Structure 1
């Protein structure tokens, strides 16, 4: 039989947790995009014979969920997308968690994110991130803590080379310019480190510019252009693409 004091203590803990549980929020999202670009690069770059091949139109299904622990600022989530840049793999599954708070008039967000590619671990990557938002601007930095960065060093496939400390800096702008219409723009910079840098892979800049229309009830349509520079090194995957995406938040 449970001790009376123990039962009382558990009851107090349960009552204290009720406000947090009551305000906890689970949201989900699903989307269909004409082309999935990650940091300016196409995610459909493998042809049927294993050669590098990229298409301007390569639809991807995407979706995930977020769970916020009440008003504590803590959250966890998962996001997924169909991809085609690793042999034997057709999906990217991201797991993340972090903490949001406000200080000095700025909205802060710190956390960790791991990218998983079932069927081919060569792309698996883990990053720590920190972001600050002020008005329509958000500045975010992601720092690689895994041994490899999306397979660029080949550590996960046994090369013995590492991509740790590779960083990504992104400045994003989002502002409603008319009822239900939001202008979105972003510029990012990838800085390769460790053995990736020594291999001569150049740092590069990516960009995005588009407009999103909110139909209400969580339905939105986005249209824009996304791409990156250094096409002479990375090839077609860095080409500018017209991106159209329909999404639904539940």
Structure 2
């Protein structure tokens, strides 16, 4: 009788172990995020006329490595350019895998500006490939359409290097970044951007960040003459669930 009890107990422990392992590795995850920033900077250039922006997204990731997602933000630059859109909607999908010690991410991203009504359609499609080794990620993005409303700019690209360094177990991290945006057939619009960000993870889905952002280009101007690529601090708060 005692041996049967031991067998039953062992079976329950084994079954619980298998269940725990299965529960820890779901076939897919579905996550959401919402946030606010004091200035929506993309590749160093303000998309919100140096003003705050609301943002949010949804991501689906499969255990095979495939993923899709969408993200949106309020913007001002389309209206500043004479158009009629106040939102950017991004749709993307790709595949992540490991090649030895390098994490590889390849995919496509489409930027939509509904009802933009600009002379050159600002909707943009990019293909990208990124490699992560240790704390650093090198990424190349290639436009297969005109880039953000620039005429005859198909084939433009963006190359960036970003690293994230956790500060012990404090929840803080430091993220330096440098990138180069090449706008094909428009050297005046091409530029290098830099940033360094301090992030804090509250461990409950909430993260905060403070970044210093700058570019070497003074040609991106708001209607009031303000330089949209000037150096400045950007505060951010995001909640993921």
Same fold per superposition (TM over 0.5): yes
**Gapped runs of 5+ residues in structure 2?**
1-22, 222-226
C-alpha displacement of 1:230: 1.9
Deviations 1:148-184 (A, max 9, x none): 100011xxxxxxxx21110000000101014100001
Distance across 1 between alignment mates of 2:76 and 2:220: 16
Distance across 1 between alignment mates of 2:105 and 2:235: 28
- After superposition, residues 77-116 of structure 1 pair within 5 angstroms as 77-86=69-78, 87-116=83-112
Distance across 2 between alignment mates of 1:134 and 1:123: 33
Task: Please tell me whether Structure 1 or Structure 2 has the larger radius of gyration of its CA atoms.
Answer: 2
Distance 1:39 1:24, change over 3 A: same
Distance across 2 between alignment mates of 1:182 and 1:29: 20
Deviations 1:77-128 (A, max 9, x none): 0010000111210100000000000012100000000000011162100000
Structure 1 residue 211 and structure 2 residue 198: aligned? yes
- After superposition, residues 13-162 of structure 1 pair within 5 angstroms as 22-44=26-48, 54-55=49-50, 58-69=51-62, 71-86=63-78, 87-120=83-116, 122-146=121-145, 148-153=146-151, 162=152
SS of equivalent residue, structure 2 residue 220: helix
Deviations 1:207-235 (A, max 9, x none): 1111001111110110011121122x334
Deviations 1:46-88 (A, max 9, x none): xxxxxxxx43xx110001011012x210000001000011121
TM-score of the superposed pair, with normalisation by structure 1: 0.79
Structure 1 residue 163 and structure 2 residue 153: aligned? yes
C-alpha displacement of 1:242: 0.6
Q: Detail structure 1 runs of 4+ shifted over 4 Å in the superposition.
A: none
Distance across 2 between alignment mates of 1:220 and 1:245: 8
Tell me the equivalent position of 1:182. Answer: 173
Distance across 1 between alignment mates of 2:189 and 2:100: 36
Distance across 1 between alignment mates of 2:214 and 2:55: 19
**Gapped runs of 5+ residues in structure 1?**
1-18, 45-53, 154-161
C-alpha displacement of 1:203: 2.2
Aligned pair count reads 205
Deviations 1:21-58 (A, max 9, x none): 952100111110000011110112xxxxxxxxx43xx1
Distance across 2 between alignment mates of 1:22 and 1:130: 26
Structure 1 residue 247 and structure 2 residue 213: aligned? no
Over the aligned positions, Cα root-mean-square deviation in angstroms equals 1.6
SS of equivalent residue, structure 1 residue 201: helix
